[in-house]
Amino acid sequence: MSFCTQCGQQLQPNEIHTCVSPEQPAVNASSSPATPSPILTTARGHLANVDKHKILNLIKNPMSALQLKAETDLLYGILGLVVSLLGFVLWAWSFKHQLIKIVLEGFGSLLSDDNESYREASEYLPIVNHMLLLGFISLIVLVGITFVLGNKMGLHKLHWKDSILQLGGLQLISGVGFIVAALMMFISIKVSFVLLFTVLLATLALTLIAGMEMFRIQRDRIALFVGLTVLIQVCAILVVFNSFGSELAEEAQRISRNLF
């Protein structure tokens, strides 16, 4: 009987011996760590690269979005668009919540189950879905028409990626304003509406100013640029709102019939 002089294990006849270090345990396939999803890994990588100081700067000085470059700052343009849309949807949800709450409080003595009544009213009043559609289309139209008219009427031509990136980063402050208006809804509905319309008007004005600077629109074309942008934006909002305005009225009548 012989033993290995390196590891001390017993040597078997007619077998090739390989030393195994005690510090290196055998690998068990069942204990190997799971491989993370490529999408999740990519998302974590992008979030890890977010510069908080740059985000704060975009909030403090929205016009700094005009310095963003598509090669390195694409994430901030997308983030601005997403935050703006989510902030508007959050406001719509808070308005829906307070509206249903006020209606139920007014008819509290006629209701047997407040939670069930709230659930039914929430199902019959799809404000959030409609506001999501309205916010998405109005945001796309605002950014898109500013890019199209700016490139058409301005002296400076920009690639669509740079334009959407810079105009998107500009919307980050709007998203913050919508979130503040949504939180104010739980304190004062009137103040929340004032903040909402203030943010909407400020967003439109800021986008127009940025568009004029980005594309270097001459003074004799500023009035036409502003007029066409506002006109197309208003028409788009009216078309979308008209598509579900009658539906909201019908759903409100159905709520009153079913609950009361």
Provide DSSP, 85-146.
Answer: HHHHHHHHHHHHHHHHHHHHHHTGGG-S-HHHHHHHHHHH--HHHHHHHHHHHHHHHHHHHH
Please compute the mean of the pLDDT values over residues 41-53 and round it to a whole number. Answer: 63
Residue 182 domain-assigned? yes
Number of domains in the chain: 1
Round to whole Å and give the CA distance between 71 and 77.
Answer: 12
Residue 50 domain-assigned? no
Residue 8 domain-assigned? no
Percent of the chain residues past pLDDT 90, beyond the cut: 37
pLDDT at residue 180 is higher than 80: yes
Place of tokens 């929340």: 192
pTM, whole model, 2 decimals?
Answer: 0.71
Q: What is the pLDDT of residues 7-40, one digit of tens each?
A: 767 667 666 667 665 444 444 444 445 555 554 4
Residue 5 domain-assigned? no
Residue 10 domain-assigned? no
Residue 47 domain-assigned? no
As given in the structure block, the two tokens for residue 239 are 């078309």
As given in the structure block, the two tokens for residue 54 are 């740059």
Residue 255 domain-assigned? yes
**Structural domain of residue 157, as residue ranges?**
65-259
Residue 29 domain-assigned? no
Round to whole Å and give the CA distance between 87 and 44.
Answer: 23
State residue 95's pLDDT score.
87
